[in-house]
Amino acid sequence: MISRLPLDEQLESLCAVLSRNDVLTEVLARTATLDLPGWYVTAGCLFQTVWNVVTDRPPTSGIKDYDVFYFDKGDLSWEAEDAVIKTGQKVFADLPAEVEIRNEARVHLWHEDKFGVACPPYDSTEAAIDSFAATTCCLGVRVEADGRWRVYAPHGLSDVFNLVVRPNPVLAPRSVYESKAARWREQWPELTVLEWPSGSVTSASPAG
């Protein structure tokens, strides 16, 4: 089993699996040209690619979008973020998928208006990834200038490869976790979905 391999071999296996998704590799390569600070391709497009490969589905099956996070606290204006989004729309225009770009340094400015609860300011893209509703979602990948893949996986890779969905009660409420898990299980019935722990937070989350 991949989850029982040494960590360096798990990382090699992850990169090999993700490379089977041609859309994902294009998103990674093209995002690298945007020179965004602290960027990662993250969330569903990564772990769902793994689920697809592990369950012998086409690598892109069921993936609705590709999330790109970056962190620029130097300019927190919507105009600056929108300029990046519009540039990205041109860069990704011919890809058969939606690519969503967000400056995670700005999340606290709009989170409460959209979700009804405050979100403390993030201090990095990694901190934003840490807040996803499931630990399985807490995964980010980017291509460095030297061509090497950088992987951020604070909870490891075992659950991703073992098709386990585990709650991450740091920001998202139970309802967000359960709705996402139910949607994923419709597409990947092989998943093992763990229950939300009692007494956890009840705030909302923008992604995951």
Question: Is the Cα dihedral 176, 180, 181, 182 positive or negative?
Answer: positive
pLDDT in tens, 40-62: 999 999 999 999 999 999 999 99
Please say whether the beta carbons of 99 and 66 come within 8 A: yes
Q: What is the maximal distance between C-alpha atoms in the chain? A: 47
111 C-beta neighbours (distance < 10 Å), count:
20
- How many domains, the chain? 1
In a domain, 161, yes or no: yes
What's the confidence (pLDDT) of residue 174? 86
Q: Is the pTM of this model over 0.75?
A: yes
Question: Domain range for residue 42?
Answer: 2-193
Q: Say if 115 falls within a structural domain.
A: yes
Q: Does residue 121 belong to any structural domain of this protein?
A: yes
Question: pLDDT by residue (tens digit) across 166-176?
Answer: 999 988 788 88
Residue 204 lies in a domain: no
Residue 205 in domain: no
Whether 203 is in a domain gets the answer no
Contact 101, 88 (CB under 8 A): yes
Contact 134, 166 (CB under 8 A): yes
pLDDT at position 10 is 82
Which residues are paired to 42 by β-bridges? 67, 140
| pLDDT-flagged residues of the chain (< 70) | 1-8, 115-117, 199-208
Predicted confidence at residue 3, as pLDDT, reads: 54
